[in-house]
Structure 1
Amino acid sequence: MEYEGNFSVSLTVGEYKEEVFRRRREEGFLGTGYDWTSLALVFLTEKQPELDESIDFDPEADTFCAYSSDGEALKTFALAFKAACEDRKLIQDLFSRAELD
């Protein structure tokens, strides 16, 4: 979505990849937008450091939201993060380093 020169992508959390968060539920991870942001930050730092300064996050309890003034950077991030989420081994490895917000 584009709004006032910024682009955003969002995910209503709850069911998608719930099993990833379930593995660390005893640590307090519930699969909220904040937890998704923690996971996305690990992904961005390790897999796309060149985009680190271009992508920002604005999570809520029930929504994960990434945004940027650079539409192409956001698209690159979103597609790569989605692909990583579909790779069970990779996403579990990345999530093992996520920090509870």
Structure 2
Amino acid sequence: MHPLRLIESVPGKYSLLLDAGTTQVDDVIEELGHTPNGYFWEGVAQLLVSTEAPALEGRFSYDPEGGMFCAYGADRSALEELGTRMAAVAADADRMRRLVTAAEADGFEFDD
């Protein structure tokens, strides 16, 4: 799940975290006209849920900041699945390009 990490903040409550600016695809994100901050990664998470894993919809919440992506909730397995999906994108420049290009073609706006 690297570069993401899943922590248990209090018993039964989990946070999926990604420090912005630490992925292998940061340069690609910038080439595509975006800032690899927490808000951009929230958009990535939303896209992955809507296009690849709709069963995850509503099973956690988002709370990104400029320097960090955060999804949180009580459903550890849902956050683990999201983390695995996001880690795959964070390590694959071609997949990131395809994701952003398709999203923008569909009218999706990243909030970065």
Tell me if both proteins adopt one fold, taking TM over 0.5 as the criterion.
yes
- What is the RMSD computed on CA atoms of the aligned residues? 1.6
Equivalent position amino acid for 1:45 in 2: S
- Equivalent of 1:21, from 29, 52, 77? 29
CA contact (8 A) 1:54 1:70 kept: yes
Contact 1:59 1:65 in 2 (8 A): yes
2:27 is matched by which residue type in structure 1?
Answer: E
1:6-85 aligned within 5 A: 6-16=13-23, 17-25=25-33, 29-85=34-90
| Alpha-carbon separation, structure 2, partners of 1:94 and 1:55 | 22
For residues 80 and 23 of structure 1, what CA distance do their matches in structure 2 show?
A: 22
* Structure 2 Cα separation of the partners of residues 87 and 32 of structure 1: 17
Residue ranges of structure 2 left out of the alignment (5+ in a row): 1-6
TM-score of the superposed pair, with normalisation by structure 2: 0.76
Q: 2:9 aligns with which of 3, 24, 36?
A: 3
- Cα deviations by residue, 1:28-67 (Å, 9 ceiling, x for unpaired): x211110111111111110111001113211000011111
Q: Say how many residue pairs are matched.
A: 98
Q: % of aligned pairs identical?
A: 28
SS of equivalent residue, structure 1 residue 39: helix
- Unpaired segments of 5 or more residues in structure 1? none
